[in-house]
Structure 1
Amino acid sequence: MDESYDTVAIIRKEIFNFTDTYVINVKDPENALDALMFVFAIDAEKCTRNKRQNFLALSS
């Protein structure tokens, strides 16, 4: 959402894929990079969390 509470992009994660696959529908092409960076941030946090959980499980 932007300042006027208008939808900037719709982002969804596809299921039934071997890898994480996201679909990004952007209303205004000028916001495409912002939407992509938002998805990168979410995915990076998820990867970091998974690595931390795997490390803790191995060290126990």
Structure 2
Amino acid sequence: MDENYDTVAIIRKEIFNLTDTHVIDVKDPENALDALMFVLAIDAEKCSRNKRQNY
């Protein structure tokens, strides 16, 4: 959401894939990089959490 509470992007995870696959639908192309960085940050946190649990 932006400062006007408008939807900037819709991000969803496809569940029937062998790897994590995300679909990012961006309303305004200027926000595409922000949406991608958001997904990458979530994925990095998930990977870090999994590595800590395996020790």
| Aligned counterparts of 1:50 and 1:17: Cα–Cα separation in 2 | 19
Q: TM-score, normalised by structure 2?
A: 0.98
Structure 1: 5+ residue stretches without partners = 56-60
Runs of 4+ in 1 over 4 A off after TM superposition: none
CA distance in 1, matches of 2:54, 2:17: 22
Aligned length: 55
For 1:19, give the aligned amino acid: T
Identity of aligned residues (%): 87
TM-score, normalised via structure 1 length: 0.90
Asked which structure has the greater CA Rg, the reply is 1
